[in-house]
Amino acid sequence: MERKITGRTPDSLFLNFERISAIPRPSYHEEKIAAFLENFAKERGFFVVRDEAKNVFVRVPATPGMENVPPILLQAHTDMVCEKDAGVEHDFLKDGIDLVVDGNYLRANGTTLGADDGIGVALAMTVMDGEIKRHPVVECLFTSSEEVGLGGVCEFDFSLVTARRMLNLDNSDLGIITAGSCGGVRSDITFSATREDKTRPALKLTFSGFAGGHSGENIHEGRANAIRAMGLLLQSLSELPGFRIASVDGGGKTNAIPRGCVAVIGVDDPGAAEDQANAFGERYLATLLPIDKGASLTVETAEDELCFTKEDTSRLLSLLCEPRIGVLKMSENVEGLVEWSQNLGIVKTEGEKVSVMLSSRSAIKEQLDANEKELSALAAKNGADVKFHNRYTGWEYAPKSDVRDRYLDAYKKVLGKDAVVNVIHAGLECGEIYGKIPEMDMISIAPTIKDLHSPTERLDLDSAEAFWKTLVAFFEGL
């Protein structure tokens, strides 16, 4: 293998990252990386288990004199988000990542890099390689399908884990220690709509250019939701003679604030409807924050359409306009933290089937339960079905944490400054682990990675070296 990353310390950390970058590992397709990690552990004589969910668990014995020190768990996920630039030929099921050293950064050639969470996997492998000379029993958990709903960690048998201290290696900023995260649940509301037996004059309405963003990290910033905007527009037109909906389609992921939405409607007087829609759009767009200044509304004449009945049009309007979305509650304990939120992420029309999909977030079980009850009632009122899935557990902030204090000390010793401790309104595997082992004392840490989940993703190589030094100091402190 031709090395791309040279002159960095420890060399084995960057060698390990290059090794796993050569292995295809999209979500749901982690069999090759799981087999590689299993063999990596077996070659070194360590206890290893690979389960049916493609999780890999390794136990590394303590070094002499450290046998009585409590064990520690290192945890990272093996799958990566697979995105590429237009025109780039790359098969994520077959091709490894083409690494490029660009100054102080490591990036990929036109694709996502996979440092999320390949660098975490490589860090744990480097500990397994013996680069830390004195350590207690180290358990390593490599989980699958994290990027698509934390699937792997939910299937893992945690009776294997003896450690009650843990470092999650799935963060993105060297200077930030995460000490809490939210839970969540996804909700799919669907119903079968009936179309009328005659066509109506039609208009195509398109909201586009909204900023969008992550439904956890950006939900408190007041960014507009294009699907809700469309619901409000349609509601404003609903009293026009002959108003019916033919289709509504918007959003791409339940955990992303939608950037656009398209609706086709039927009306008796398209000209009057066009004027009213444009007037609404002008008023609505004027209320948006600067982050959404690129948003626009386009109104076009369309071919006559077979539309939903008046009753089914009303059902769809209810599902678009009635769910509570955005920030539902701010934390009373952590300043500036969103405690509870809900995002309307996708609306989709497929023939006579209409689907509305939402993502709810909170670290508090009762709040997620409340979301499920509200959406169940809304679905029942509209004769729709609702399915709740991919529910995961929140990780509540612990006022006292020995692991957190020790890592803060190590960070200051190495870098000469304090790290920042935060709690995030996004999901981490820590939440599921907390749900299985509530006494686990843990933090989430990592080197600095920029533009995660995009082809401009890049790893700060200096931060990776500094992170390793901090990790060594942390183990010395044990």
Residue positions annotated with a catalytic role: 79, 146
Rounded Cα distance, 142 and 49, in Å: 10
**Residue burial 97-130, b: 16+ Cβ < 10 Å; e: rest:** bbbeeeeebbbbebbbbbbbbbbbbbbbbbbbbe
Helix (DSSP H) and strand (DSSP E) numbers for the chain: 11, 23
- State the DSSP H helix or E strand holding residue 89, giving kind and residue range, or none if neither: none
Go through the chain and tell me how many residues it has: 478
- State the DSSP H helix or E strand holding residue 309, giving kind and residue range, or none if neither: none
The 458-460 sheet, strands edge to edge: 99-102, 105-108, 458-460, 449-450
Output the six-digit token pair for 53.
């969910």
- Looking at residue 48, its amino acid is V
Q: Calculate ∠ Cα 93-98-99, nearest 5°.
A: 135
- Quick check: 312 and 351 in contact, CB under 8 A? no
